[in-house]
Amino acid sequence: MVNKMTIYEIGTGYTPIPAKIGAATEIVAAELAKAFQAKGHNVKVVDVEAENRDPFPVPIHEVPMPHCLRCTDLALGLLHKAKRVAYSLCLARELRHILKECPEGAILHFHNQYNLFFFLLLTPARLRKRAFIAYTVHSGIWRQPWEVCAKTIRTRYFQESYAMKKADLVFVLNPETKENAQNHLHIPLHRLVQTANGVDTQIYRPLGEKTAGLGMEGERLILQVGSVCENKGQLRSLELLAPAMERNKNLHFAFAGGIVSQPYYEELIARTKEMGLTEQVRYLGMIPPGPQLNRVYNMAEATIFSSCFEAFGMAMAESLACGVPVLIPEGADYSLGAGCIPCSAETMEARLEDIQKNKAVISAAARENALAHFTWERIAAEHLKCWEERMKSHG
């Protein structure tokens, strides 16, 4: 049944596909589309209108937008939300046109709460019936205990709650989100599927030798990749590493990603000065995903992630695919398995010493984990199987 329908991967409108910045949701939509096409399915991407779009192998249906609203807004403030709403309204109009011209039906796979919320509100039921609607929950907030996240969900994620309740199938990226959706949104288990995000293991791979660059040759580098903000916790990473860095001046911490919170970035820099570690900490800016980011991963002895919560740590999967182990705080619930190493400030030096002594074994285990569990081919196959089973059982 699935192979008779067109699969539409719905871009969020945050940044054009293929993403030139490390925008996880757009990367997911793009990689799934490529994987579905490679399996012989008719697939298209619906995405915000963009000038100078990079080449992409899957056909893209562009959503016209006023030029002033096409740019990417990293600050994620009110302007960002206004742009998201405007795109969602334009997107709903385009999807209605698509469904009118698609008598055989379509699979619409959404990745953003605003996009699906406004589509559901603005699309007549007779047209919605032509579509099988899938939604992936990328918001990490749902991973927290319900008593912690319930108020935030009611005030800031009510659109997502509505979208999850109305979708034909909801993909979640961790068991905690699945439990909250079942127990508190009362979504039946047969409409909830736990999956993972993937990583392009041909792009993100070990390079064999430490690559040169960044003027950091000969230094031991611990790397963090991700948006610079409180949730990602670059400051917490620094505090975990600080005792080891104070005793070993050849140990450096570098972080890369867009600055979502300027005050948080300034706090991080100020704290670095207070610790006397200015010469050992470097901000690398925003590195485009793909080969350039892969080279940076390969410079690192390890990566480190100190998020408050993660729906799925895509940067962690990229690091594992590169054969670079991932340091996470003890007690963190977002480990991706082999290659992820829990640590504290007290145990950091011992963990880094173990990584140095057993580099080949740990690197191989990390890479093997990525190949076994996080290839896009595997993730796409899981999606297709779930869609097929759900359509057969519910018509």
312-325 CB burial, b ≥16 within 10 A, e <16: bbbbbbbbbbbbbb
Integer Rg of the chain from CA? 21
**β-strand pairing of 302-304 with 281-285:** unpaired
Helix (H, G, I), strand (E, B) or coil at 8: strand
Contact of 163 with 117, CB cutoff 8 Å: yes
Q: How far is it, in rounded angstroms, from Cα 138 to Cα 309?
A: 12
70, pLDDT greater than 70: no
Give per-residue pLDDT as tens, 115-130. 999 999 999 999 999 9
Whole-number pLDDT of residue 393: 74
Cβ burial of 230 (10 Å; 0-12, 13-18, 19+) is middle
pLDDT given for residue 82 in this prediction? 78
Give mean pLDDT, residues 264-283: 97
Per-residue pLDDT, 223: 97
Task: Give the three-state DSSP class for 153.
Answer: helix
pLDDT tens-digit series, residues 219-243: 899 999 999 999 999 999 999 999 9
How many residues would you count in the chain?
395
Question: What are the structure tokens assigned to 214, written together?
Answer: 């960044």
Per residue in 34-47, pLDDT tens?
999 999 999 999 99
Q: Which domains does the chain have, with CATH numbers?
A: 2-198+375-394 (3.40.50.2000), 220-373 (3.40.50.2000)
Show Cβ contacts of residue 71 under 8 Å, excluding neighbours closer than 6 positions: none
**pLDDT(73) > 80:** no
**Residue 277 in 3-state DSSP?**
coil
* Cα-to-chain-centroid distance, residue 56: 19
